[in-house]
Amino acid sequence: MSDLNFSIKGMSENPTKFVAEARNFKIVIDEPPTLGGTDHGANPVEYLLASYAGCLNIMGHLIAGELGFKLDKLEIEMDGNLNPDRLFGKSFTERAGFKNIQVKLKPYAAVTPVLLGKWIKEVESRCPVNDNLLNKTPIEVKVLYPH
Amino acid sequence: MSDLNFSIKGMSENPTKFVAEARNFKIVIDEPPTLGGTDHGANPVEYLLASYAGCLNIMGHLIAGELGFKLDKLEIEMDGNLNPDRLFGKSFTERAGFKNIQVKLKPYAAVTPVLLGKWIKEVESRCPVNDNLLNKTPIEVKVLYPH
């Protein structure tokens, strides 16, 4: 199959609030007051985790179907730690983003442990967001001179 | 400063639809019908791009303030290409996720090109989501045996 292109565009509404459009969907990103924001939406790293969980859900159902078992529901919990020192410009010894991400998957299905092991291996190998977090991705940033 | 922990949790509502909770916010992730979904929300990789744009917006305003110029607004467009062969299990020659991400930033500010160059360098270096996409992140996945 040929490559698929996905895109978003958006505008700041205030220093912490950004409204992105993805096709016909609006995504409101902000920070809580404790991080200097106006709290009109989840924050960027919470969206990052949600994106990853949504991806694991889709892949989990797709691959359960391929392996011949019914996945009734999938519950996911996810968390990650980051040190805000670099973000706030206080220190550059630590990385800016999540240092690690922990994922707990609770599948509701009648399935053997062996098949479940095969399932999760396949889910991780084929989930796009898992790949983009686990591995490096080239990014090209262009700044258009101010209007 | 000490590490901050961010978390989400959620449940599948159907094979492609996942509803995540981040604090008091609900994030609905789905796929369009063309990708087998029920189209109740943006898809995982669109959320990934939105998360990144939201992060660049926050860092852009924070760092403009540090550098002493006023950023009236920031417009961001972003896109990425991925090949769906691995996702669908058709071929494993390509990676699963975005092969590359293109970002266009349009700052609305009275600022010299030199200061703008300093600004974007700092934004990229300190943006958490930029770090998690550009570099590798350790992920620990636990599967809880079915209920």
Q: What ranges do the domains of chain A cover?
A: 9-41, 43-134
Measured between beta carbons, the chain A residues lying within 8 angstroms of B113 are 145
- Per-residue pLDDT at A5 exceeds 90: yes
Q: Which of B21, B47, B122 to mutate to test the interface with A (most CBs of A within 10 A)?
A: B47
pLDDT, tens digit only, all 147 positions of chain B: 899 999 999 999 999 999 999 999 999 999 999 999 999 999 999 999 999 999 999 999 999 999 999 999 999 999 999 999 999 999 999 999 999 999 999 999 999 999 999 999 999 999 999 999 999 999 999 999 875
Residue B42 sits at the chain A interface (C-beta within 8 Å)? yes
pLDDT score recorded for residue A147: 59
Instruction: Look at residue B145 in the predicted model and tell me its pLDDT.
Output: 81
Per-residue pLDDT averaged across A5-25, rounded?
98
- Whole-number pLDDT of residue B17: 98
Q: Which of A6, A108, A125 sits opposite B147 (nearest CB)?
A: A108
From B31, B78, B81, residue closest to A3, measured CB to CB: B81
User: Is it the case that residue A124 has pLDDT exceeding 90?
Assistant: yes
Question: If you average pLDDT over residues A114-139, what whole number do you get?
Answer: 97
Cα separation, A100 vs A140, whole angstroms: 24
Flag if A55 and B45 touch (Cβ within 8 Å): yes
pTM for the full model? Answer: 0.97
Nearest to B122 by CA among A142, A87, A35: A87
Residue B49 to residues A8, A141, B52, B76, B100, Cα–Cα distance (Å):
7, 13, 5, 10, 11
A78 three-state secondary structure = strand
Q: Is the dihedral of CA A12, A16, A17, A19 positive or negative?
A: positive
In the prediction, which pLDDT does A133 show? 98
3-state secondary structure chain B: CCCEEEEEEEEECCCCCEEEEECCEEEEECCCHHHCCCCCCCCHHHHHHHHHHHHHHHHHHHHHHHHCCCCCEEEEEEEEEECCCCCCCCCCCCCCCCCEEEEEEEEECCCCHHHHHHHHHHHHHHCHHHHHHHCCCCEEEEECCCC
B85–A50 C-beta distance less than 8 A: no
- Is residue A5 less than 8 Å (CB to CB) from chain B? yes
Overall average pLDDT of the A40-56 stretch = 98
A114 inside 8 A of chain B by CB: no
**How far B21 CA sits from the closest chain A CA (Å)?**
8
Q: What percent of chain A has pLDDT over 70?
A: 99
Which of B25, B34, B123 has the most A C-beta neighbours within 10 Å, making it the best mutation to test the interface with A?
Answer: B25
Residues 17-36 of B with CB under 8 A from A: 17-18, 20, 22-23, 25, 27, 29-32
| pLDDT at res. B1 | 87
CB A109 within 8 A of CB A72: yes
**A13 Cβ contact list (under 8 Å, min separation 6):** A19, A40
| Token code pair at residue B118 | 């300093």
The top-level CATH class assigned to B43-134 is: alpha beta
> Whole-angstrom Cα distance, residue B85 to residue B64?
41
For residue B60, what are its two tokens? 């852009």
- pLDDT of res. B12: 98
Q: Which two tokens stand for residue B77?
A: 């467009």
Flag whether residue A50 sits within 8 Å of chain B, measured between CB atoms: yes
Question: Residue A145's pLDDT band (boundaries 50, 70, 90)?
Answer: confident
Give the three-state DSSP class for A124: helix
Predicted confidence (pLDDT) per residue in A51-95, tens digit: 999 999 999 999 999 999 999 999 999 999 999 999 999 999 999
- Whether the pLDDT of residue A9 is over 90: the answer is yes
Q: Please indicate whether, in this complex, the C-beta atoms of A44 and B31 are within 8 angstroms of each other.
A: no
